């Protein structure tokens, strides 16, 4: 195991240090080489070292160089060495981060990070937050919270009363108040 993990670290380091010399976008030949992965499932297990080597040798050239300093495409973020190392450690921990009972460390770190975030944003004591899985989940959560707040101010308990019935009147009154 130690040799495999050392090999993975060396391959990752080589990949990251090489980002400055390669194109941000993968070459056509690198993309074409991805066809090597499209084959029947092997009848026997493959050595872990061979799997790692194939992922690196075939997969690494076909990546978008988003971790490099010349990438200005999407909002993906760069991987700082400490973040990469922490990600490896978290992967080794193999925790189910959904509950305190299944990952006390995750729950503790999440509380600390939320506290720091509230402090950085200058929000008052008593504010709360949560981490979600993606921007889509964040937007959905924000819309649900806004819906709850808006309808609560109008005396409508959306969780208990649902979205039908008086909802049209509440929304119409909110957005088109009687003059």
pLDDT tens profile 65-118: 988 788 888 877 667 788 889 999 999 999 998 889 999 999 999 999 999 999
Using a cut of 0.85, tell me whether the model's pTM lies above it: no
Q: What mean pLDDT is predicted for residues 29-47?
A: 96
pLDDT at position 142 is 92
pLDDT at position 10 is 96
Q: Radius of gyration of the chain from Cα atoms?
A: 24
Distance of CA 163 to the CA centre of its chain: 31
On average, the pLDDT of the chain sits at 89
- C-alpha pair distances (Å), 14 with each of 3, 21, 56, 57, 160: 16, 11, 10, 11, 56
The single residue listed with the structure tokens 């090597």 is 36
pLDDT at position 162 is 82
Using DSSP's 3-state secondary structure scheme, residue 84 falls into helix
Nearest in space to 33 (alpha carbons), one of 66, 65, 59: 59
Percent of the chain whose predicted confidence (pLDDT) is above 70: 92
Of residues 167 and 121, which shows the higher confidence score? 121
Distance of CA 6 to the CA centre of its chain: 25
Confidence of residue 27 (pLDDT cuts 50, 70, 90): very high
Indicate if the pLDDT at residue 15 is higher than 90. yes
Identify whether the C-beta of residue 70 lies closer than 8 Å to the C-beta of residue 24: yes
């Amino acid at each position: 195991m130690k040799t495999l993990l050392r090999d993975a670290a060396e391959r990752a380091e080589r990949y990251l240090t090489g980002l400055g010399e390669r194109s941000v976008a993968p070459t056509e030949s690198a993309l074409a080489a991805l066809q090597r992965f499209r084959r029947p499932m092997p009848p026997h297990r493959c050595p872990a070292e061979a799997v790692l080597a194939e992922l690196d040798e075939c997969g690494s050239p076909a990546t978008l160089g988003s971790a490099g300093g010349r990438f200005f495409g999407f909002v993906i973020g760069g991987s700082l060495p400490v973040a990469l190392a922490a990600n490896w450690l978290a992967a080794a921990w193999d925790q189910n981060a959904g509950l305190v009972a299944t990952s006390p460390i995750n729950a503790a770190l999440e509380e600390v990070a939320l506290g720091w975030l509230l402090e950085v944003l200058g929000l008052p004591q008593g504010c709360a937050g949560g981490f979600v899985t993606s921007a889509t989940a964040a937007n959905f959560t924000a819309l649900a919270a806004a819906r709850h707040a808006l309808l609560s101010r109008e005396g409508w308990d959306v969780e208990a009363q649902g979205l039908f019935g008086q909802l049209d009147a509440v929304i119409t009154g909110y957005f088109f108040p009687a003059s």
